[in-house]
């Protein structure tokens, strides 16, 4: 039996009732029109203050989120720890616009870092750059347009939020993952994260940027970063992912009439992704790799390569990551085999986490084969439990 086929390990933390809920949920998610209608109704109902929070909580929220607060998430952290899987508390409230919300977001992330530091089972905290600044400002900075005095000041406030966050992380010996968003914001985000890495990553990789390998020239960026890390003597922390905003990227490129930056096929993205982690393994003194993927083939490929190169499974520069509620067969089996694995645990008030939940539902509907695979594994485990 191949490693990820072991459903007993994969679903050990799920009760029969949890398993039934997951089965029900993935069957719903497999139905594209239903997801579209369901998300519209949920958005409308929450905006209109209709009493649907309980229903959302009992279904999709409890499957994909660890709670409404970091404190509430601790019980999921402990559950994962029983199977040697680490947690990454992910404050998943999106779309803050006012300065006060941006500062609130910083306060929340700092509180999350401090809480995470009290548990040896939470090695990372994560944040989204748009939690700390307006998308419009990232766009303007990315295009290297001249900023007004007020914008310069707002940019400095974003930079200070990054610095504050990194300072607290360093004081608490907590690693940070900076999520990647749309490509038109990324050059400005890169500026900030590169500056932070060159300061905070001298001895170990504390700060991690995210590289989306569905972007055609992202491999070149990694080469540039590798050279910079060597020259300036720091370790480049990279969360490697394929990328989540493919449709949005294509739409904007078409609308504004510029070439789509995304690889022209899944195969090209896969090749880019594989070339990226191989390049990082070639330069492991200057890179720390957080391998964020639900793709079994890629995960088997890197496991084989690590074995071939005799790189220890628990090498400090190698981490694997999946999202809570997805690909448990990869997470728990990898951890059992001795690799370092963590799950993103999104948390926040139900109505604020809704955009995240909608993306998960849509992603599972559109990522070919993913939901089918989840259903297949849940079915297998249901049968195994019945036989026992
Ligand atoms: C722990 C973790 C953290 C993450 N953080 C981020 C983040 O910060 N930012 C972010 O953007 N995403 C993030 N993601 C999501 C990630 O980018 C992917 O969308 C998701 O994981 C699916 O890719 P995969 O490697 O798991 O699986 P696969 O199913 O093998 O790949 C699906 C992906 O392939 C690419 N793809 C599919 N079809 C095509 C096509 N026709 N042409 C070109 N490319 C194609 C797309 O990127 C698609 O999402 C994260 C995922 C994980 C597990």
C-beta of 63 in contact with ligand 1 (< 6 A): no
Within-domain flag for 53: no
Within-domain flag for 88: yes
CA of 244 to the centre of ligand 1 (A): 5
pLDDT tens for the chain, residues 1 to 388: 899 999 999 999 999 999 999 998 888 887 777 677 777 777 777 677 777 778 788 878 888 999 999 999 999 999 999 999 999 999 877 665 667 789 999 999 999 999 999 999 999 999 999 999 999 999 999 999 999 999 999 999 999 999 999 999 999 999 999 999 999 999 999 999 999 999 999 999 999 999 999 999 999 999 999 999 999 999 999 999 999 999 999 999 999 999 999 999 999 999 999 999 999 999 999 999 999 999 999 999 999 999 999 999 999 999 999 999 999 999 999 999 999 999 999 999 888 888 888 877 776 666 656 888 999 999 999 999 999 8
Within-domain flag for 121: yes
Contacts of 321 (CB under 8 A, 6+ apart): 88, 239, 290, 291, 292, 341, 342, 343, 344
259-267: long-range contacts (C-beta < 8 A, 24 or more apart)?
261/183, 261/215, 261/216, 261/217, 262/214, 262/215, 262/216, 263/214, 263/215, 263/216
Closest residue to atom 28 of ligand 1, CA basis: 295
Q: Return the residue matching tokens 């195969």.
A: 267
CA distance 164 to 214: 31
- Within the chain, how many helices (H) and strands (E) appear? 17, 8
327 lies in which domain range? 68-353
C-beta of 241 in contact with ligand 1 (< 6 A): yes
- Return the half-sphere exposure (C-beta side, CA atoms, 13 A cut-off) of residue 79: 16
Burial class (CB in 10 A: 0-12, 13-18, 19+), 204: middle
Within-domain flag for 46: no
Domains in the chain, number? 1
Q: Looking at the CA of residue 326, tell me the nearest atom of ligand 1.
A: 53
Within-domain flag for 333: yes
CA distance 6 to 330: 9
Helix (H) or strand (E) holding 208: strand 207-212
Within-domain flag for 150: yes
Within-domain flag for 299: yes
Residue 244 belongs to a domain with what CATH number? 3.20.20.220
Within-domain flag for 42: no
C-beta of 179 in contact with ligand 1 (< 6 A): yes
């Amino acid at each position: 039996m191949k490693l990820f086929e072991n459903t007993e390990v994969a679903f050990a933390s799920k009760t029969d009732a949890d398993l039934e809920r997951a089965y029900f949920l993935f069957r719903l998610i497999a139905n594209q029109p239903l997801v579209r209608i369901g998300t519209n109704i949920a958005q409308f109902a929450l905006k209109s203050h209709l009493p649907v929070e309980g229903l959302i909580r009992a279904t999709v929220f409890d499957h994909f989120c660890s709670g409404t607060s970091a404190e509430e998430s601790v019980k999921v952290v402990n559950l994962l720890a029983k199977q040697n899987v680490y947690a990454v508390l992910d404050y998943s409230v999106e779309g803050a616009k006012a300065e006060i919300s941006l500062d609130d977001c910083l306060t929340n992330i700092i509180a999350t870092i401090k809480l995470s530091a009290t548990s040896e089972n939470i090695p990372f905290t994560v944040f989204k750059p748009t939690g700390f600044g307006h998308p419009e400002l990232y766009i303007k900075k990315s295009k290297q347009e001249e900023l007004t005095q007020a914008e310069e000041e707002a940019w400095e406030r974003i930079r200070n939020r990054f610095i504050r966050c990194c300072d607290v992380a360093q004081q608490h010996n907590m690693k940070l993952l900076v999520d990647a968003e749309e490509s038109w914001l990324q050059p400005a985000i890169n500026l900030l994260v590169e500056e932070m890495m060159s300061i905070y990553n001298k001895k170990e990789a504390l700060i991690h940027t995210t590289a989306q390998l569905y972007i055609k020239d992202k491999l070149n960026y990694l080469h540039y970063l590798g050279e910079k890390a060597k020259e300036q003597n720091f370790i480049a922390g990279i969360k490697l992912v394929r990328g989540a905003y493919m449709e949005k990227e294509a739409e904007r490129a078409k609308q504004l009439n510029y070439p789509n930056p995304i690889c022209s096929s899944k195969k090209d993205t896969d090749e880019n992704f594989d070339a990226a982690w191989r390049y990082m393994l070639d330069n492991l003194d200057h890179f720390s790799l957080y391998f964020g993927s639900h793709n079994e083939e890629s995960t088997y490929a890197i496991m084989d390569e690590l074995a071939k190169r005799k790189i220890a499974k628990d090498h400090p520069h190698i981490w694997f990551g999946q999202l809570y509620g997805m690909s448990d067969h990869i997470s728990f089996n990898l951890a059992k085999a001795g690799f370092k694995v963590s799950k993103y645990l999104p948390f926040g008030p139900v109505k604020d986490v809704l955009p995240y939940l909608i993306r998960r539902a849509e992603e599972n509907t559109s990522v070919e084969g993913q939901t089918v695979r989840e259903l297949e594994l849940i079915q297998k485990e249901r049968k195994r439990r019945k036989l026992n």
